[in-house]
Amino acid sequence: MHRTWLVPVRNRLVSSGLTLDALVSRSGYSKTRLSELLRGKDYYPGWAITYSVIRALDIPVSPLLRLWAAAAEEAGKDTGWIKSRISEVPPFTPEAQPVAHRGFTQAMWRPYTAYAQAFLQSERRARKVVARTFDLLWLTWDEATATPDTPRHAWQLLRRTVLALAPRRQDGRPDLRAAAFSTVAQADIPDLAERLYRIDVLAQFFDTITRLPPDQMDVTVLRYLCGIPDHAVPGIVGLPPAITHTLDHHARGALDQLRPASDSQE
């Protein structure tokens, strides 16, 4: 995840039709330095060269700066290094966020964060991942709005970002078991033994959810772990209501068959 910001940069370079030689001329950096940056290996690039490239490609600076700084932190750069590199570039006037993107962000912030927190547990981590998703969406907003369904495009971007960071089971499935510790139902049980038993049952049930096909898993997590109302789910995942209803129906049927026998008999 260290170089997620490079994807829209590479894509913009391709779509712009600029050659590397032309980018050298516009940015003022050598072909070797630019090739290293675009390759995304060997070293983490400073903000000055990154800034010169994104300005040459007419990419919004504000969201990419946030992504660059977050990725630098993930790459092991300390706060002093990050601030020092940013200070090497003269201050810029932040771009106006597209109105439609701002409205979409406001509408989806809470459900996206709830979904992310179900997998990542930490609200702080969830908020950071959602913020990163919306910055990536801003950088690809023209592409997103050109798709047949912008909410679906955005949802797939979110789930890829979340699941790339989620803990994994040995078989590769995301690990939802830790979510059992944060449910309201078990927290209200006064008896410790009963609470631990319920946590174990819930952990097994949540683990079973990750055996569902991706869309069924998403609808189930939103409906039953995040508490999203049934009528709101289609707009979040970007699917028609009839399809989400069918996904929910099939998911519940599959869970009845997959859940542990001791739990299904209660």
Residue-wise pLDDT for 170-222, tens only, equals 888 988 877 765 654 444 555 545 545 455 667 777 888 899 999 999 999 99
What whole-number distance in Å separates Cα of residue 239 and Cα of residue 134?
19
CATH of domain 6-87: 1.10.260.40
Nearest of 155, 156, 152, 177 to residue 166 by alpha carbon: 177
From first CA to last CA, the distance across the chain in angstroms is 42
Structure tokens at 144: 């997103």
What whole-number distance in Å separates Cα of residue 53 and Cα of residue 83?
19
Mean pLDDT over 146-175 rounds to 92
229 pLDDT more than 90:
yes
What whole-number distance in Å separates Cα of residue 93 and Cα of residue 9?
20
Per the DSSP assignment, residues forming a β-bridge with 168 are: 174
3-state SS class at 210: coil
Q: Domain spans of the chain?
A: 6-87, 102-266
CB 183 within 8 A of CB 140: no
**Would you place residue 84 in the very low, low, confident or very high pLDDT band (cuts 50, 70, 90)?**
very high
CB 159 within 8 A of CB 137: no
Residue 80's pLDDT is what? 96
